[in-house]
């Protein structure tokens, strides 16, 4: 059990399980993007650890770029997604692989979908480490999923609770009393 700010969390997903699911995604990406020189577009802050694990397993030429969006306040989404750092690279005509730590309601994806449509990319797909199917409210397909999880609040492996917990190498879930 660990405590972050005022909340208690218990172990939920081991580092080994996380890395195995990233290996599976990476195999698919190596197969699907061979010779395509994709741009990985990681959504800050949460996806930095996932992004590093995916990019280091990609075998061909690739680039990485970052955008930053924010919606969460504490353990709840505010529903209001702000672009805090936009695209700083021309993605016109490129194959883009969006890297997300977790897809929850999908509000963040809907916002990025707009950004990428405006950027006139050749094609874009979404890869997420965690996916909460019960919370997802959008119709945008989530193409590569590391692990489906129940609608619970988790921390670790890049994911935070009010800034804390990103450094944890395994995933914890909020303790239910």
Active site residues: 104
Label the pairing between strands 39-44 and 171-174.
Answer: unpaired
Closer CB to Mg ion, residue 30 or residue 78? 78
Nearer residue to ligand IMP within complex by CB, 27 or 85: 85
Q: Based on CB atoms, which residue is closest to Mg ion, 38 or 46? A: 46
Q: CB 156 → ligand IMP: shortest distance, Å? A: 9
Q: What share of the chain is helix, strand, coil (3-state, %, to 5)?
A: 20, 40, 40
Q: Is 24 helix (H, G, I), strand (E, B) or coil?
A: helix
Residue 163 backbone zone (phi > 0: left; psi -120 to 50: alpha; other: beta)? left
165 binds, among Mg ion, ligand IMP, none (CB under 5 to 8 A by kind): none
Residue 72, contacted partner among ligand IMP, Mg ion, none, CB below 5-8 A by kind: ligand IMP
**Residue ranges binding Mg ion (CB under 5 A):** 46, 101
Please choose which of Mg ion, ligand IMP, none residue 104 contacts, taking the beta carbon within 5 to 8 angstroms, the exact cut-off set by kind: ligand IMP
């Amino acid at each position: 059990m660990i405590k972050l700010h005022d909340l208690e969390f218990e172990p939920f997903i081991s580092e080994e399980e996380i890395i195995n699911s990233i290996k599976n995604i990476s195999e698919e990406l190596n197969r699907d993007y061979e010779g395509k020189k994709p741009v990985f577009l990681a959504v800050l802050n949460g996806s930095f650890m996932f992004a590093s694990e995916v990019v280091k397993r990609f075998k061909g030429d690739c680039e990485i770029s970052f955008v930053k969006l924010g919606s969460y306040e504490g353990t709840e989404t505010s529903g209001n997604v702000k672009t805090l750092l936009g695209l700083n690279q021309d993605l016109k005509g490129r194959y883009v692989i969006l890297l997300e730590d977790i897809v929850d309601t999908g509000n963040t994806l809907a916002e990025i979908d707009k950004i990428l449509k405006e950027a006139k990319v050749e094609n874009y797909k979404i890869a997420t480490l965690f996916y909460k199917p019960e919370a997802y409210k959008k119709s945008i397909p989530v193409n590569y999923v590391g692990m489906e999880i129940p609608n619970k609040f988790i921390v670790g492996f890049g994911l935070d609770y009010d800034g804390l917990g990103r450094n944890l190498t395994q995933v914890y879930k909020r303790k239910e009393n």
